[in-house]
Each structure stands twice: as C-alpha cells, then as structure tokens.
Copies of this chain bind each other. A is one copy, B any other.
C-alpha cells in the first residue's frame, strides 16, 4: 500500500459570520497551501461554524509548529474555540486498547492494523482478564493483565490507577475501550476526555446500561445496533461518533442477537476510531460533527 503524502490537518470552530472561509483559505493560499480536502458546517441552533482543512505538507514553506503558531492569529481574529488543532499526519498515531474477555473487537482492530488499513501503533493492550494475552503478544504488542476484583472497591481503585499509569506511559492519541466492561471512574473520564472511545452494544439511547441484548429481546425490537461514543462521566451518554444496526427477528435468541450484534460493534468501533485518528470528529456540546 503506497504511503499517502504527508498532510497538516486543521480543525477549528468559531461563531459564524461572513468571510470566515475567505480568511482561512486566503491565509493558506498566501503561503502556497494546497488544500486537499475541506469541509464546513454551521450548526443552525448555536450559529457555530466548524471546519476541517487538509493541506499538503510539502506545499507550505514551514512545519506544523510554525503553521500552528501562525494559524493561532487567524483563530484569535475569528474568535475561535480553545480546542482548535493543527495535526501532522506524519506523526504516527498511538493507540492503547482496553479489553476484557471478548475477542471480536480486538481481533478486528489487530487485523486492520496488520494490513495497515489502520496505519497506527498499538502501544499496548490492557486486559482485566488474561484471555487475550496470546493473540496480542503474537502481534508483538505488550499485554498487561490488570485484574479487577469484583467486590473490593479499594482493589478496584488500585486497578484503575494501574491502568491509568499504563496508558499514561504511551500518551496515546486514543484509548479504545474494546469491550472493556468496566465503568471508568470520573477522574479517568476527565483525564482521557476527548480521547477515550467506547463501543456500546446497543443503538443508544435505547438500552443504556447492562445486558442491552437481553433488553432488546424483551422489548421485541426488529433491529439491534451498536454505538461508538466518547466516554464521559455520564454512563453511555457521551457524544456519539458512529452507530449502525442489523436486522433480527423472532427466531433470534439472545445468543443470536449477541452474535449478529458483534459484527456491527466491530465496524462501528473501527469507523469511529479511524475518524477520530484522522481528526474528523469535532465535538460540539454533546453532539459530534463528522467531517
């Protein structure tokens, strides 16, 4: 697979008004910036403008840091949000994956990483069970087993502290909860804010919480789904990045729903992670703009 050319990605939001596109594109044109992809959106409820610009790195006479410094003036002029970013696709993305016993999302991600479809480094996999140590290490990736004793709050707190430490070591661009099955404490939600992606096995806001497929079977729904969302302190209520569904019927037991649902969980998580790592997801309150 040919390496795509190096690019700088600008993501940015500010109050909407006339001339924003002109200001940004003129700034880039001045320096010879070749825009490869550009997307715009204005939220009509809040009148907030969003953009993502992808520029060929070799078209600009300076590096990402310099671009950042110069673009900061444009941001200030336009009254931009604090969370604007300039990222460099030449900087390799690092990911830490948290797992439990279920293998399907991890296999799926490892497959994508191996084939370089998802061209990132998996820095580490952390599991509260050891079931997935083998497949992880077969890929040359460190696996850390951090047990979570069910009925011991202090031990659980210590376990979370250990996970926090293991993640912090790698400063990953994304912490992926690939069926981690543990509810993060608020301080971890805070620390990983905007970087922690969870896959929930229902079409949220349906069936929040435990055993969503059992809930779905009981309600007699005709489709089951999955939701990839940013983790926040409010359980299963973070900004939604991606969702999808699959058809089920009366003949499907809970086990069948689980099986069919997994195929959706895998792709929904993979898409959400890809968009996150490509800086395509802009969070706006509890909603996301996906460019």
- Contact surface of A with B, Cβ cutoff 8 Å: 1, 17-19, 21-23, 25-26, 28-29, 32-44, 59, 102-104, 107-108, 110-112, 114-115, 117, 134-135, 138, 203-207, 218-223, 225, 239-240, 242-245, 249-251, 253, 255, 259, 262-263, 267, 270, 286-290
Complex Cα distance, B17 from A32, in Å, reads: 10
Which residues of the other chain, B, contact A103 by a CB distance below 8 angstroms?
Answer: 111, 114-115
Which residues of the other chain, B, contact A17 by a CB distance below 8 angstroms?
Answer: 34
Complex Cα distance, B115 from A134, in Å, reads: 13
Known: A203-B221, A249-B290. 4 other contacts (CB 8 A): A25-B25, A107-B108, A107-B111, A223-B245
Contact B245 A222 (CB under 8 A): no
Which residues of the other chain, B, contact A114 by a CB distance below 8 angstroms?
Answer: 103, 107, 135
CB < 8 Å: which of B25, B223, B239, B253 contacts A220?
B239
Which residues of the other chain, B, contact A242 by a CB distance below 8 angstroms?
Answer: 222
Contact A36 B26 (CB under 8 A): no
Complex Cα distance, B114 from A59, in Å, reads: 48
Contact B222 A243 (CB under 8 A): yes
Residue of B nearest to A241 (CB): B222
Contact A204 B221 (CB under 8 A): yes
Contact B221 A243 (CB under 8 A): yes
Which residues of the other chain, B, contact A221 by a CB distance below 8 angstroms?
Answer: 203-205, 240, 243
Contact B220 A240 (CB under 8 A): yes
Which residues of the other chain, B, contact A32 by a CB distance below 8 angstroms?
Answer: 18
Residue of B nearest to A102 (CB): B115
CB < 8 Å: which of B33, B240, B262 contacts A219?
B240
Could you tell me the distance in whole angstroms from the C-beta of A193 to the nearest C-beta in chain B?
17
Contact A59 B18 (CB under 8 A): yes
